[in-house]
Structure 1
């Protein structure tokens, strides 16, 4: 299983618009092949710091997700709402 975190810092005045874009991405992504879980969380200390926590069956499914129309549209749409680059981390989660 692949686990992805995407940390995003949003401009306070743009948070509503960012959330609208994010809702559409989440809605479409949850139906994709290999998507186990795809959720957005807000930092408890900073309401403008958000993290997308994703669980994918395998890297092929994640790669396919990153090439979807809705993912690319989201990436293009949100740059104006962010205060800095998105910090993305990927982990290979093996059961022990």
Structure 2
């Protein structure tokens, strides 16, 4: 399993528009065949900061997601909403049995 954390530092004046824009990405990503989960969380300490937590079946699923139109379209638009660069971390995760 592949786990991705994408931290986004949103311009407070554009936060409402950002939340509207990201909904399509979330919904479409959750419908992808290799997706386990795809959830957006708001930071409770740092204002206007969000963490996308993605869980994918394997690297092939991540690759397909990264090539999808909903992802590439969002990537083109997201810099308009951010005040700092995206902070993305990728992990190779396995469930503990």
TM-score range, shorter chain: over 0.9
Q: Tell me which stretches of 4 or more aligned residues in structure 1 moved more than 2 Å.
A: none
Alignment-derived partner of residue 84 in structure 1: 84
Question: TM-score, normalising length from structure 2?
Answer: 0.95
Q: TM-score, normalised by structure 1?
A: 0.96
Partners of 1:85 and 1:27 lie apart in 2 by 23
Aligned residues: 96
Give the Cα–Cα distance (whole angstroms) in 1 for the partners of residues 95 and 42 of structure 2. 27
- The DSSP-based 3-state class of the residue aligned with 2:79 is helix
| Aligned-residue CA RMSD (Å) | 0.8
1:26 aligned partner:
26
Matched, 1:36 2:5: no
Distance in 2 between residues matched to 1:17 and 1:33, nearest whole Å: 28
List gaps (5 residues or longer) in structure 1. Answer: none
Structure 2 residues without counterparts, runs of 5 or longer: none
Alignment partner, residue 8 of structure 1: 8
